[in-house]
Amino acid sequence: MRSSVSAGPLAATRQTGAEVPRPTGKYRVRPGPYDNAAIAQRARDAAARRGYGDASIIVQP
C-alpha cells in the first residue's frame, strides 16, 4: 500500500540524514545535532525556505 504522506518531509530526511519517528500518523523530522546555534539557525532557515515555516530549534541539555 502506498503512503498518503507527501514526499516532502521524507525527501528532506534523506538529504539531511534526519531522524523521523512516526507516532500516530504524524511526522517529526529531527536533523542535527549541530555544533553551535548559528549552524542550527541556518538549517532552520533553510527548512523554512523549503516550505517548513513552522520549523523550530530545540536545545537539549
What are the phi and psi torsion angles at 60 (to 5°)? -100, 140
The C-alpha angle 9, 41, 15, rounded to 5 degrees, equals 30
pTM as predicted: 0.56
Q: What is the pLDDT, as a whole number, of residue 4?
A: 41
The set of cell numbers assigned to 36 is 553551535
Q: What is the pLDDT, as a whole number, of residue 31?
A: 87
pLDDT along the chain (61 residues), means of 10: 48 61 69 92 92 88 80
CB 48 within 8 A of CB 55: yes
Q: What is the pLDDT, as a whole number, of residue 8?
A: 59
Q: What is the pLDDT, as a whole number, of residue 10?
A: 57
Neighbours of 49 (CB within 10 A): 10
Residue 29 CA to residue 10 CA, distance in Å, equals 8
